[in-house]
Amino acid sequence: MSNDTGTLYIVATPIGNLEDISYRAVRLLAAVDLIAAEDTRHSRKLLQHYAISTRLTSLHEHNERSKAATLVRLLLAGKCIALISDAGTPLISDPGLYFVRAAQLAGVHVVPVPGPCAAIAALSVAGLPSDRFSFEGFPPNRAAARAAFLRQLSREPRTLIFFESPHRIVRSLEAMVAAFGGERPAALARELTKVFETIRRSTLGELREWVRQQPVSAVAGEFVVLVQGVPAKAPAVDVDEAQRVLRVLLANLPLKQAVALTAQITGHKRRALYQEALALRAGKLS
Q: Would you say the CATH fold of 119-227 matches that of 7-116?
A: no
- Amino acid 46 reads L
The candidate with the shortest Cα–Cα distance to 88, out of 17, 175, 148, is: 17
What's the burial of 251, exposed, middle or buried (CB within 10 Å: 0-12/13-18/19+)?
exposed
CA distance 25 to 28: 5
CA distance 209 to 170: 9
- Amino acid 274 reads Y
Q: Give the domain ranges of the chain.
A: 7-116, 119-227, 239-281
Q: Show pLDDT as tens, one digit a residue, over the chain (286 residues).
A: 445 899 999 999 999 999 999 999 999 999 999 999 999 999 999 999 999 999 999 999 999 999 999 999 999 999 999 999 999 999 999 999 999 999 999 999 999 999 999 999 999 999 999 999 999 999 999 999 999 999 999 999 999 999 999 999 999 999 999 999 999 999 999 999 999 999 999 999 999 999 999 887 667 789 999 999 998 775 666 778 888 999 899 888 999 898 988 888 888 888 889 888 888 887 754 4
What separation, in Å, do the N-terminal and C-terminal C-alpha atoms of the chain show? 84
Domain 119-227 CATH assignment equals 3.40.109.10? no
Selecting from 3.40.50.720, 3.40.1010.10, 3.10.20.30, 2.60.40.1840, what CATH number does the domain 7-116 have? 3.40.1010.10
Sheet harboring 109-113: ordered strands across?
A: 56-58, 34-37, 81-84, 7-11, 109-113
